[in-house]
Amino acid sequence: MLITAPSLLTAEPGADSGAPGYVRIEDGLVTGAGYGRPPRTPDIELPDGVLVPGFVDLQVNGYYGVEFQIADRSRWTSVAARLPETGTTAFLPTMITAPVPELVAGLRIAASFLPDLVDVAGAARVLGVHLEGPFISPDRRGAHNPAWITDPTPAAISELIAAGAGHLRLVTLAPERPGALAAIRELVAAGVLVSVGHSDAVASQVADAAQAGARKVTHLFNAQRPLGHREPGVVGQALTDPRLTSGFIVDLHHVTAPACSIAFAAAPGRIALVTDAAACAGMPPGEYLLGGEPITMPAGTGEPPVRADGTIAGSALRMDRAVANAVSVGLPLPAAVAAASRIPADLIGRPDLGRLTPGAAGDMVWLSPGLSARATWIAGRLAYSDGAAATLAAVPA
C-alpha cells in the first residue's frame, strides 16, 4: 500500500517538515517514507489533514465502560478493538492500588491471555500491564485507597514479577518508601520500566531512584511533591533530570495550560502524553469504577471523573485530543505527535512503534485539520474510519 498526504509527520527527531509526503507499507511494515513526489501512483491519497504514526498510551485504566482491573479477556479485547477510534494503536492497560494478592491474581489472569492480544487484526496492540501502586505515598495517594498502600518488600516484588510472566511492563511507585530502591533495581533487572509517582519524595530521592534505574515519572504535577524554589520536589527533578521522561495528562484540567507550557519548555523531548483514561472514557456521564471503587463523570462540565470526596480519579481523555490540547498551549505539532508516539514507544522499549520509518510497524493515523482521528491503520490494515464522506472517498474498504 502506498499512501500520500498533504502533510506527513514521521515523528523522527529533526526529520519532520510537515510537507506533503508518502508512506509505503508491505507485510505490515513501513518500507519507505519521504517527502515530495511518491515513487508511483498512490493507492490512497488523503485530501487534507496530516498523516502521523499511531499513538502509544502508557496509562489506560479503562475505556468504553470497561475497567481493566476487573475485566475478563473479552472486555480487554473489546477496548483494544475500539481504541483506534482515538488514534491509539498501542497501549498499556493499567491496574491501580489494591491488596498485593489481588494484583498478583489479576496479573496471572492477564498473563494467561495477553499473548493472544499482541497482534489482533484491527485492534490496538496490548503492550503488557502497568501497575500504578500499591507502593505509593499515602500523602500523595490521589484516588487510590489508603488501606491498600504498602511497602515494596522483596517478596511482594518477586511475586508480582512472577505473576506477570514477562507481561508486567511498567510499575509506578514512590521511591521514598522503605525498600523502594532495591525494588527498582529488581524490577529493572526483570525488564520492567519503573516510574516515580504518587510520591512525596524530595528531589534527591527522585535522583536516587533514577540512579537505581527509574526512567519515568507518572502524570507530572499530579499526586506528587510540587516544584519549590528551595526544594524542587518530584516535579523539579522530573523537569531537569535528563534520565527521566514524564507521563503527562494534557486534558487542561489535571494541569492548566500555563503549567503545560512550562513543562514542554523545560523538558523538550522528555514528555510522553498519556490519557490516564478510566472506564468512563468514551461513555456518557454517570457512575463507573476505578480500582473497583466508584467514580462519577459529571454531566455537561467537561471536568474529569471524581471520587465521592471530589478527588480527581483518572480522565475521559482521548489521545488525539491530548495532541490537539498540547498544540493549543503552544507545542509545535511535530513535537506533540512525537510526545504521543515515538517518545512513549522508545520509553517502553518498542522502537518499532511510534514512527513512520523503514522497518517500523505500519501503524498510522490520519488526523483532520482539527486534529481528530479520521482513520487509523494498524500493520497497514484499516482499523477505524470515522465514516465521513471525505474519509470514505479517500480510504477504500
- Mean pLDDT, contiguous 10-residue spans, the chain (397 residues): 97 89 97 95 96 98 97 96 98 98 97 88 95 98 98 98 98 98 98 98 98 98 98 98 98 98 98 98 96 93 91 97 98 97 98 98 98 97 91 80
The verdict on 175 and 280 lying in the same domain is yes
Report pLDDT for 388. Answer: 84
- Whether 146 and 174 have beta carbons less than 8 Å apart is answered as no
- CA dist 333 and 352 (Å) reads 21
From 254, 260, 235, 268, select the one nearest 338 (Cα to Cα): 268
In this structure, the number of other CB atoms found within 10 A of the CB of residue 221 comes to 22
From 18, 24, 27, select the one nearest 4 (Cα to Cα): 24
3-state secondary structure 283-343: CCCEEEEECCEEEEECCCCCCCCECCCCCECCECCCHHHHHHHHHHCCCCHHHHHHHHCHH
Give CA separation, 300 vs 1, 86, 285, 303, 312, in Å.
Answer: 42, 21, 8, 8, 16
The verdict on 180 and 196 lying in the same domain is yes
The verdict on 385 and 249 lying in the same domain is no
Report pLDDT for 391. Answer: 86
The verdict on 255 and 390 lying in the same domain is no
The verdict on 62 and 153 lying in the same domain is yes
- Spell 83-104 as b/e; 16+ CB within 10 A means b: bbbbbbbbbbbbbbbbebebbb
The three grid cell numbers given for residue 249, joined into one nine-digit string: 495528562
CATH number at residue 245: 3.20.20.140
The verdict on 78 and 119 lying in the same domain is yes
Q: Does some domain include residue 365?
A: yes
Report pLDDT for 16. Answer: 83
Report pLDDT for 224. Answer: 98
pTM equals 0.97
Query: What is the domain range of residue 390?
Result: 2-51+357-394
The verdict on 218 and 260 lying in the same domain is yes
- Spell 270-279 as b/e; 16+ CB within 10 A means b: bbbbbbbbbb
Q: Measured between alpha carbons, how far apart are the two ends of the chain, in Å?
A: 13
Domain count, the chain: 2
In this structure, the number of other CB atoms found within 10 A of the CB of residue 14 comes to 5
Place of cell 519503573: 194
Q: Does some domain include residue 109?
A: yes
Report pLDDT for 394. Answer: 84
Report pLDDT for 364. Answer: 98
| Element holding 143 (H helix, E strand) | none
Catalytic residue IDs: 276
Q: Does some domain include residue 257?
A: yes
Report pLDDT for 118. Answer: 77
Cβ neighbors of 277 (< 8 A, separation 6 or more) are 57, 59, 60, 61, 62, 63, 314, 315, 316, 317, 318
The verdict on 285 and 211 lying in the same domain is yes
Q: Does some domain include residue 47?
A: yes
The verdict on 61 and 25 lying in the same domain is no
Q: Does some domain include residue 278?
A: yes
The verdict on 112 and 179 lying in the same domain is yes
The verdict on 281 and 147 lying in the same domain is yes
- Whether 129 and 110 have beta carbons less than 8 Å apart is answered as yes
The verdict on 367 and 262 lying in the same domain is no
- Whether 216 and 194 have beta carbons less than 8 Å apart is answered as yes
Q: Does some domain include residue 313?
A: yes
Report pLDDT for 397. Answer: 63
Q: Does some domain include residue 352?
A: no
